[in-house]
Structure formats: C-alpha cells, structure tokens
C-alpha cells in the first residue's frame, strides 16, 4: 500500500489543505481514508482534500509525504489522474 500526501500548501476557505492520493488504486485510497476517518465528501475526483490539522495524523497512519509534483506524477503513472 502506498498512499501519498503532499504538504498543506493550498489555501482555501481560511484553511490550508493537503492532498491524499494512492499510486495504485482508488480502492486502496478509499480504504485508507475510511481507516483514518476521512469523510467521503473529502474525495475530489482522484484525491482527498485533507485539512492541515490532520496532516500529521495521515503521516502517522502510513501516508508517505511527497512533493505535490510527485503526487501528481504518481497519479498519472497509475492511470488515476482525473481532471
């Protein structure tokens, strides 16, 4: 299982957000999200939006920190990128 998370750099609605994605499958991503209690409505086409205050929790649960470019490249390589 490889779930990736980028740093919380995107600002929206007065918060900073990270993106959580899988480099393998949406099933893997959704299973991880359920295990850590992310709400389904946080899923946005090919990733979950994660508020900054939950970033460390995602890493502690096994998400691998990567740069945003790496996360997007992994989505493309796995054929999971959706526009």
Per-residue pLDDT of the chain (83 residues; tens, 9 = 90+): 699 999 999 999 999 999 999 999 999 999 999 999 999 999 999 999 999 999 999 999 999 999 999 999 999 999 999 87
Closest CA to 37 of 52, 15, 54: 54
Full-model pTM: 0.93
Instruction: Please give the Cα distance from 64 to 47 (Å, whole number).
Output: 14
Q: How many domains does the chain have?
A: 1
Asked whether residue 30 is assigned to any structural domain, the reply reads yes
Q: Which domain holds residue 51?
A: 3-77
Asked whether residue 29 is assigned to any structural domain, the reply reads yes
């Amino acid at each position: 299982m490889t779930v990736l998370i980028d740093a919380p750099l995107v600002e929206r609605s007065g918060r900073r957000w990270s993106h959580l994605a899988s480099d393998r499958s949406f099933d893997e991503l959704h299973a991880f999200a359920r295990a850590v209690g992310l709400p389904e409505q946080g899923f946005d086409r090919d990733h979950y939006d994660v508020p900054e205050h939950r970033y460390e929790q995602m890493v502690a649960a096994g998400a691998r920190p990567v740069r945003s470019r790496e996360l997007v490249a992994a989505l493309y390589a796995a054929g999971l990128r959706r526009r």
